[in-house]
Amino acid sequence: MHTGRMLFAQVIEYAPRYEFQKCVARYQGNHRVRSFTCWDQLLCLIFAQLTYRESLRDIVACLRSVDGRLYHMGIRGTVSRSTLAEANEQRDWRIYADFAQVLIRQARQLYAGEPFGVDVAQTVYAFDSTTIDLCMSLFPWASYKRAQHAMKLHTLLDLRGNIPTFIRITPARLHDINVLDDLTPEAGAFYVMDRGYLDFERLYRWTLSGSFFVTRARKNFRFDRVDSRPVDKGAGVQCDQTIRLVWFYSSRGYPGELRRIRYRDPQTGKRLVFLTNNFTQPAAVIADLYRCRWQVELFFKWIKQHLRIKAFYGTSENAVKTQVWTAVCSYLLVAIARQRLQLDLNLYTILQILSVSLFERTPINQAFSMMDRTIREGVDHNQLSLLDF
């Protein structure tokens, strides 16, 4: 007897199906499809992400073992390995990329007031990329080096809630700096990047658009000092200068003034030199903003450990991008559920609970509140809390 909805169906409820159907219609994803629709494909791939399935055979075996429950999970079509493989290969990956943007907008609204360690009113983004190694014989489209194939995941992370707002999947041979051309700068926002993205002509376009950047200077950096500000060396700031570029191509690419901050980390003693086009924030705040760039590195580490984006269900570029974007959708759904249910659990714990209880018919609030109470009662205060973001 049906006594309630399964946890999987309650989580999927946070995915607006009407918006998804608009994405499907945009790319004619269900054209000449009789049974296994794009929605069925999305649910199967989200199930695979939440339960850590490693292959198509693994996904199909698990779903067929609970064939009587698929209807209540929202899956109406017949699940088979050939059908799912064909859908991943042929259905446009942009369907799931566009739907991820819908979830990103929802998540950003929910986490708009979330603190991230620096007291600034503006939106702060961290931009970086990570490399995922691929098999040379199975992924010929992702050429990188002579003896290595790989792809890059370029990500712009909103530090309020660690929400990825921009993702590009490219062959690893593409230099990171070229992806800056795909970004649309947001006026008044901060963009924190490492020095691999230091291109003065591109950064000057960001300055003209009213956005701010924080990055590091290279060792051979040449400049003329225009002005200096008083600094508090006790806070680690060694100097705070207004400068102009000297070299011909650099000065032509960025004809305006820049702010140069030399900082010594009080804890590690490491010396860093920052460049920014923001002249209003204190120098210590600029240093703190750059320190928060590490959140994007933790994000990459987290999704590689807890989502299926290193072993792929298909070998074509379309199948790989489909899997990555459905993994992003899974991450966003869990983040949205966490905020709307006001859970005091980190994403890792929520995923662990879902991985073993998706077929339970427990109300979602009750399922997580019971686990939260168990964790609080059994917590060891001498044990460090990992992945709490």
pLDDT at 372: 54
- Could you tell me the two tokens for 16? 């607006």
Query: CB 173: neighbour CB atoms within 10 A?
Result: 13
pLDDT tens per residue, range 266-279: 888 889 999 999 99
Query: CB 175: neighbour CB atoms within 10 A?
Result: 13
Query: Mean pLDDT lowest for which of 121-130, 231-240, 279-288?
Result: 231-240
Contacts of 290 (CB under 8 A, 6+ apart): 192, 214, 215, 216, 272, 274
Rounded Cα gap, residues 361 and 379, in angstroms: 27
pLDDT band for 380, please (50, 70, 90 cuts). very low
Rounded Cα gap, residues 251 and 244, in angstroms: 7
Of residues 38, 46, 41, the one with CA closest to residue 19: 38
Cα 299–Cα 300–Cα 306 angle in degrees, nearest 5:
85
pLDDT band for 384, please (50, 70, 90 cuts). very low
Strand partners, 276: 214, 259
pLDDT at 32: 87
Mean pLDDT across the chain? 89
pLDDT tens per residue, range 285-317: 999 999 999 999 999 999 999 999 988 999 999
User: Which domains, from first to last, does the chain contain?
Assistant: 7-96+314-377 (no CATH), 194-284 (3.30.1370)
Rounded Cα gap, residues 106 and 176, in angstroms: 28
Does this model's pTM top 0.85? My answer is yes
Per DSSP, helices labelled H in 185-244 are 200-208
pLDDT at 383: 40
The residue type found at 230 is P
pLDDT tens per residue, range 163-178: 999 999 999 998 999 9
